[in-house]
Amino acid sequence: MWVRSSSIRIQRNPSLSPFHQINSSTVQPLTPILHPSSLITHSLSLSLLSSVLSSDSLAIARKKHEMMTEITNLSSDLIELILSLLPIPTLIRASTVCKLWHSIISSHSFSTLSHHPHHPWFFLHGIHNISSKNNQSFAFDPSSNTWFLLPSPNHPNNTSFIGSNSFLFITAPNFLYTPILHPSCHWHQTPSLHFPRINPLLSAFPSHNKNRNFTLPSFIVVGGVRFIGNLVDIEDRLDVEIYDPLLGSWSLAPPLPPDFRSGNSSSSLSSALFRGKFYVLGINSCFVSSFDLHQRVWSQVHTVRPHGVVFSFLVACRNHLVLAGVCNFPHGSSSFVLWKVDEDTMGVSQISVMPHDLLCSMFDGDEDDKFASLKCVGLGDLVYVFNEEYHLMYPACVCEINGENGRCVWRKVPPLPSLMNRFHKVISFCSTVSLHNILGDPQQPTLQY
């Protein structure tokens, strides 16, 4: 019996599939019905390769004969092994083949078995100030080099909308969150913040939960502008607030050090959650301090400004903290540079420079302030740089940092589709994505690392 996945739905047009792959200016269904025969050749070749590596010719012949059996007669374990070698877009298609395949692919255990690389995805959420119906969400999968059109959040509040890690958030007047790939399904509400705020820094981290087989998210909220009855107070230095999902309550911690002026928001600050500390960097001031999630205290404030830096961002990569920023040099040239940050001394060492032609491709002129529209986010081994100007259609590039030898490879990200709406604001962030995020139960929000 054929079934279609109903876990992810976007558009009301019945002619479109629930989850959509974007290829330049066209939108194509990502979840058409996939016939089992299309995977037989792949499974046979994998099996034969395994036999060549570990068996003699008789075993190879026996294995070939076994694989010629109807695929419906294969054991669940063998089907699971075959499917685990496929990339996420193909697995999404495969999940629509039958109930058995869907149950295998959407299980918690399959996410850990799957061999596809877990490169963090790049998310862009466009906000239209007048009509929330024109909001759109996109995700870029670096493994398949493909953009996806995601479900648009059905919440009308645009003033306090944030994306981070595995979730989308509303921070004022109430605090709400929803999984990034199921935003139309259900918004989970916590008790209100002690100090409701807009444009804070926000991150999710795993709670201490030893008695369950899934990880509930804890949240940390830093800075922002206080929101009181549709009015804002830019003078108030707001306490840090931390949400404990087991207690279902928010606790207070000291605010940002006074070196960071009051009213600091996500537009002037960059943050990175790395090895149990929440780092905050002034994008223009280059002040940096870290909040210890266990001891709940701030470190002393350092100034991290390599020679020539105009502004910079912090990124939590897999093995180290990375500073990324624009440098101006006396002879008039500019570069976008990545540095590794020493956590103890806060000293930096250069690891890569974006190729000049790649940097130039993100602009259409030589205005003095053109770099002001550059933004940078990252996670794991990837650092994304993009231009948030609408008229340029948000050009982006990505740098992959090899965790073993530190080698960096830059490449251009494919353009977003022409069907994109006009936005007044874009929200960008990175998040790991698992099949359970896509096909799992959206009513049970879990944190994926």
Q: pLDDT, tens digit, for every residue of 33-43?
A: 334 444 444 44
| CA neighbor of 172 nearest in space, from 220, 226, 247 | 226
Q: Which two tokens stand for residue 273?
A: 């959650």
Which residue type does 423 have? F
Among 73, 90, 113, which residue terminates a domain?
Answer: 113
Which is nearest to 251 in space by CA: 280, 277, 219, 204?
219
CA–CA separation, 44 and 48 (whole Å): 6
425-431 β-sheet, strand order: 26-29, 20-23, 146-150, 136-141, 121-127, 425-431
Do 44 and 130 belong together in one domain? no
Specify whether 88 is located in the same domain as 212.
no
Number of domains in the chain: 2
Residues 198 and 271 in one domain: yes
pLDDT score, position 137: 86
The helix/strand/coil state of 179 is: strand
Q: Is residue 15 part of a domain?
A: no
Say whether both 340 and 360 belong to one domain: yes
- 103 and 45 both lie in a single domain: yes
Residue 163 lies in a domain: yes
Residue 302 lies in a domain: yes
Q: How far apart are CA 89 and CA 86, in angstroms?
A: 8
In this structure, how many other beta carbons lie within 10 angstroms of the beta carbon of residue 284?
12
Task: Indicate if 192 and 235 belong to the same structural domain.
Answer: yes
Position 83 confidence tier, pLDDT thresholds 50, 70, 90: confident
- Greatest Cα pair distance, the chain, in angstroms, is 78
Q: Are 438 and 8 in contact (CB under 8 A)?
A: yes
Please report, for residues 169, 200, 243, 352, the alpha-carbon distance to residue 217 in angstroms, rounded to integers and kept in the order given.
13, 18, 9, 34
Please check whether residues 130 and 93 belong to one and the same domain. Answer: no
Q: Provide, rounded to the nearest whole percent, the portion of the chain with pLDDT above 70.
A: 72
More confidently predicted of 350 and 368: 350
The span from the CA of 128 to the CA of 135, in Å, is 6
In terms of domains, do 76 and 173 share one? no
For residues 221 and 202, the answer to whether their CB atoms sit within 8 Å is: yes
In a domain, 14, yes or no: no
Helix (H) or strand (E) holding 124: strand 121-127
Q: Which candidate, 81, 96, 119, places its Cα nearest to that of 36?
A: 96
DSSP code of residue 346: -
Q: Which domain, by its residues, includes 134?
A: 121-439
End of a domain among 97, 113, 129? 113
Q: Left (φ > 0), alpha (ψ -120 to 50) or beta: where does 430 sit?
A: beta
Look at residue 199 and tell me if it is in a domain. Answer: yes
Distance CA 357, CA 410 (A): 11
Instruction: Choose between 264 and 77: higher pLDDT.
Output: 77
Reading phi first (left if > 0) and then psi (alpha if -120 to 50, else beta), residue 259 is in alpha
Residue count (the chain): 449
Same domain for 296 and 339? yes
Whole-model pTM: value is: 0.79
Residues 373-412: tens digit of each pLDDT: 899 999 999 999 999 887 788 899 999 998 777 789 999 9
Tokens 């466009």 identify what position? 126
CATH code assigned at 420: 2.120.10.80
Residue 230 banded pLDDT, cuts 50, 70, 90: low
Q: What is the mean predicted confidence (pLDDT) over 262-285?
A: 90
Please provide the average confidence, as pLDDT, over all residues in the chain.
Answer: 78
CB-based contacts of 133, cutoff 8 Å, min separation 6: none
pLDDT-based confidence at residue 111 (cuts at 50, 70, 90): low
Same domain, 88 and 134: no
pLDDT band, very low/low/confident/very high, at 105 (cuts 50, 70, 90): confident
Q: Give Cα separations from 250 to 20, 220, 267, 280 (angstroms).
A: 37, 9, 24, 20
What's the rounded mean pLDDT across residues 211-221?
77
Phi, psi of 337 (to 5 degrees): -125, 145
Confidence of residue 207 (pLDDT cuts 50, 70, 90): confident
The answer, yes or no, to whether residue 101 has pLDDT greater than 50, is: yes
Quick: pLDDT tens for 50-76: 443 344 544 544 554 555 455 667 788
Q: What is the 3 state secondary structure string of 262-322?
A: CCCCCCCEEEEEECCEEEEEECCCCEEEEEECCCCCECCCEECCCCCEEEEEEEEECCCEE
Q: Please identify, among 113, 134, 165, the residue that sits at the C-terminal boundary of a domain.
A: 113
What is the pLDDT confidence band of residue 181, given thresholds at 50, 70 and 90?
confident
Q: Is the pLDDT of residue 241 over 90?
A: yes
* Confidence (pLDDT) at 166: 81
What integer is the mean pLDDT of 289-305? 96
Is 444 a domain residue? no
Q: What mean pLDDT is predicted for residues 79-101?
A: 81
Does 315 fall in a domain?
yes
pLDDT at 240 over 50: yes
Taking 70 as the threshold, does the pLDDT of residue 157 lie above it?
A: no
Could you tell me if residue 9 is inside a domain? Answer: no
Residues 269 and 214 in one domain: yes
* 321 and 269, same domain (yes or no): yes
